[in-house]
Amino acid sequence: MRFLRCTALALVGCVFLSWLHPRRTMRAAQVPADPGATSHSAPPAVPAVTWSRQIAPLVYQNCATCHHPGGGGPFSLLTYQEAFRHGPQMAQVTQSRYMPPWLPAPGYGDFLGARRLSDEQIALIRRWVASGMPEGDASIAPPPPHYDATWQLGKPDLILTIEHPYALAAGGTDVFRNFVLPYPLTATHYIRAMQILPSAPQVVHHANVLIDRTASFRRRHPADWEDGIPGMELELDAGNTFDPDSHFLFWKPDTPVLEEPAGMPWRLDPGNDLILNMHLKPSGKPETIGAQIGLYFTPEPASKHPMLLELEDDRGLDIPAGDRSFQVQDELELPVDVDLFGIYPHAHYLGKELEGWAILPDGRKQWLIRIPDWDIDRQSVYRYRTPVFLPRGTVVHMHYVYDNSEDNVHNPNTPPIRVRAGNRSVDEMAHLWLQVLPVNTAKGSPDPRLLLEEAWMEHRAKRNPGDLIALYNLASALAGLGRYAEAAADYRQVLAANPRDARTLNSLGAALENAGDSSAAEKEFTQAIALGPDNCDAQFNLAELELKRSQFAQAAEQFRDLLRNCPADAGAQSGLGVALLGEGDSASAEAEFEHALDLDPANFTALYHLGEMAIESGSPERAVEFLQKASAQRPDDVDTRERLAMAYAQSGRQADALTQLRAAVQLSPGDANLHALLSQVLSAAGQLQQAIEEQNQALHFEPNDADGWNNLGVLEARLGHTAAARADFERALQLAPDHAQARANLARLPRQ
């Protein structure tokens, strides 16, 4: 189980409304005169700049994503009349490069959707305004882009809605509000695209989505989660598998739809919650804030699994009043090859210069991003046009400079005061998030994301030994890598600081059990359960431990206790079914497995056992139905493929049985039983020579198997290889002198 601390990302696109920042002063727009013009000068040789020919294409490409009806901008720029009305403002804010909102400096990363205007484009706007903003030939103007007021990709497959809108006051400080939207479906779906529709986008600074795998946030706020919970920083329990959910799921005015790269959808399971974190800025009048989230499905699960990494130095933030150049930095060495897909730098109002770069193993410096003039109101996630390859051994760096002087027009304090790290916008942060995809992973290697997690959390724990979340996540990564003793040592360090942490007690118990110390594991599980009746994970683990000990009655009682506290736990329901099977009550067990599938149609344990029970009851087609679904859940599970092959063989589907057994053999090539089963199915299909080869493979791994030698002899005899068959039967009798079948088969052979 991985305990994940998620700091809500402050993702934002600036609009002209940001001119109202209280610390920013702007003079009335003035269009500079052409220094070469005189009252007697000749007409310019260059063609006139018009809306239709030059300005409309420029505005539609760089400005209209925000400045359209219903967009994040306070006014539209889709028509000549609208642009004419705001032309002087356009000239001023583009000349200062305040608009369009684009912070990265050119040449320090090649990003998708870059909106930095060239000097020539800025000069065009200035000349157009200076010449009176002529329209030109309207017939040659490009058609304005169309912006649907609702769903950009058509009707979503699922729409989630905030049930209780939030009343935002007319004034006051920024508001951070977290709305829980439970996932209502009973099947897992994969999300290829997402759109967030705020009801009042003009006051939403940004919004982003977090996935709560275990509904942990909702459980911590049972009385008021439906009304929204205040706060910027959230702690979510990521569940009992390593599941980083490493996607930038955000909304800002100029990116209404988020489409994931090919092969990288994200997943929603039954029982998950989406948490919509919204940063709201009062507008001067009361607003009612609601939102809808539209989700677009794909049937294909992810084939690529990215991960978010964070560099940060919040502990170093203690910025004296008046300091113009306060610096912090961090670095992280990558233990595996990765492709860098996106980057998100984050600071608050005192941030001045934000840089990120990589030092490659050969010593070369690779710039990742550089923002020379930071502005919190124009921040964003930046995605690379082409992923940046960073080989193993690369050291990624961040370096941030802060300006806490009166000269910083963004400084919220007049006069300046000492500023430290914190979640309020008047505090500071120093974060650099990287979305990476591990590449070049050798077959059979551990999950490279676990190696990244280990390196990241070990680095955090060394920098701040009191960071218990980093220490917990480090232990979880080590457990995922099979290094259970090291994991247990780190879990104990967490418990030394917080001995009543039920989550860590349970995780320590799991590490000890995997290390082979079931008695110590039982003690930790019991302690976790004693801290509260709702510690369902610990109850589940204790019940599973009793199942492994064949203590079926105790396990059944433990599962029943668990279900009284957590009635929607499909894993506990199927676990109870396994315990009842162990007690010999197959009818009751089957009912529990069916109930588990009602709660979670993809529950592997229920599917597997129902398939196995169907084989035993002579219902192979029913068995195929369950075992196909179970194998889809765990395609690398050899036992499931073996059982599915048996069900196919009983159904007369020999070709399908062969396919499953060959796949199982590839997964476990040293399994003698699999080779023997494959030999039997090949024999039934009349492929005797291949059957002999597979039986020989089985005997290579189990040379003392008397039954195997007898079976090989039968196959050789069927092909007329009398001498080889005789040797096989005699070998079987050497190993088991009372082997009746081998003796009878030997007697049936023609005499030499």
pLDDT for 270 equals 84
683 in a domain, yes or no? no
Contacts of residues 666-674 at CB distance under 8 Å and 24 or more positions apart, as own/partner, are: 667/636, 667/638, 667/641, 668/638, 670/701, 671/638, 671/701, 672/697, 672/698, 672/699, 672/700, 672/701, 672/702, 672/705, 672/708, 673/698, 674/638, 674/642
Whether residue 617 lies inside any domain: the answer is no
- Using alpha carbons, select from 437, 473, 446, 479 the residue that is nearest to residue 458: 473
Residue 420 in this model has a pLDDT that exceeds 60: yes
CATH of the domain at 250: 2.60.120.230
Per-residue confidence at 283, pLDDT binned at 50, 70, 90? confident
Report, as an integer, the average pLDDT of 217-243.
78
Cβ count within 10 A of residue 332 = 22
Statement: residue 397 has pLDDT above 50:
yes
CB 273 within 8 A of CB 212: yes
**Banded model confidence at residue 254, pLDDT cuts 50, 70, 90:** low
Kindly state whether residues 91 and 172 are assigned to the same domain: no
The answer to whether residue 553 scores a pLDDT higher than 70 is: yes
Q: What is the pLDDT of residue 45?
A: 52
Is there a domain that residue 688 lies in? Answer: no
pLDDT confidence of residue 514: 95
- Give pLDDT tens digits for 91-126: 998 898 888 888 999 999 999 888 888 889 999 999
Query: Are 121 and 213 in the same domain?
Result: no
- pLDDT confidence tier of residue 149, bands split at 50, 70 and 90: low
**600 — pLDDT class (breaks 50, 70, 90):** confident
The pLDDT value given to residue 371: 97
Q: What is the pLDDT of residue 440?
A: 95
- One domain for residues 100 and 212: no
CB 191 within 8 A of CB 266: yes
In this predicted model, what pLDDT tens digit does every residue of 296-308 receive, in sequence order?
999 998 999 999 9
Give the residues across from 431 on adjacent strands.
312, 346
Write phi, then psi, for 212 (nearest 5 degrees).
-105, 100
Higher pLDDT: 491 or 149? It is 491
336 and 388: one domain?
A: yes
> For the chain, how are helix, strand and coil distributed in percent, rounded to 5?
40, 20, 40
Answer yes or no: are the C-beta atoms of 745 and 729 closer than 8 Å. yes
CA distance 406 to 544: 63
Higher pLDDT pick, 401 / 87? 401
Q: Report the C-alpha gap between 625 and 368 in whole angstroms.
A: 50
Q: Which of 155, 204, 202 is nearest to 179 (CA)?
A: 204
Looking at the structure, do residues 78 and 114 belong to the same domain, yes or no?
Answer: yes
Statement to judge: residues 165 and 288 lie in one domain: yes
Residue 555 has pLDDT above 70, yes or no: yes
Q: Are residues 291 and 155 in the same domain?
A: yes
Last residue of a domain, one of 140, 158, 192: 140
Range(s) of the domain holding residue 209: 150-298
267-278 mean pLDDT = 90
Between residues 151 and 395, which one has the greater pLDDT? 395
SS3 at position 480: helix
The answer to the question of residue 91 being in a domain is yes
146: tokens are: 């169309």
Residue 36: predicted pLDDT: 37
**Dist. CA 499–CA 711, nearest whole Å:** 59
> What is the per-residue pLDDT for 601?
87
- pLDDT at residue 566 greater than cutoff 90: no
Using pLDDT thresholds of 50, 70 and 90, give the confidence band for residue 382.
very high
473 contacts: CB under 8 Å, gap ≥ 6: 2, 3, 4, 453, 457
> What pLDDT, on the 0 to 100 scale, is given for residue 249?
87
Percent of the chain residues past pLDDT 70, beyond the cut:
91
Lowest mean pLDDT, pick from 118-122, 201-205, 280-284, 454-458: 201-205
Domain end among 140, 170, 192: 140
Contacts of 264 (CB under 8 A, 6+ apart): 247, 302, 303, 304, 305, 306, 437
For residues 273 and 175, membership in a common domain is answered with yes
At residue 512, φ and ψ (nearest 5 deg) are: -65, -40
Are residues 218 and 322 both part of a single domain? no
Answer whether residue 708 is part of any domain: no
Residue 195 lies in a domain: yes
Q: Tell me, yes or no, whether 160 and 290 share the same domain.
A: yes
Residue 559 burial (CB count, 10 A):
29
**Domain membership flag for residue 470:** no
26 confidence band (pLDDT: 50, 70, 90): very low
Question: Of the residues 117, 140, 163, which one is the last residue of a structural domain?
Answer: 140
Tokens of 615: 């084989």
| Whether residues 419 and 321 fall in one domain | yes
Amino acid at 473: N
Domain count, the chain: 3
Residue 245: its pLDDT value, please? 67
Closest C-alpha to 545, from 564, 570, 517, 565: 517
pTM of the model: 0.80
Shared domain check, 271 and 206: yes
pLDDT at 240: 57
- Per DSSP, the residues of 644-706 read HHHHHHHTT-HHHHHHHHHHHHHH-TT-HHHHHHHHHHHHHTT-HHHHHHHHHHHHHH-TT-H
Mean pLDDT, the chain, integer: 88
Higher pLDDT pick, 535 / 365 = 365
354 pLDDT band, cuts 50/70/90, is very high
Q: Establish if 197 belongs to a structural domain.
A: yes
pLDDT tops 60 at residue 12: no
Share of the chain above pLDDT 90, in %: 68
Going by their DSSP bridges, the two strands 189-198 and 365-371 should be labelled as unpaired
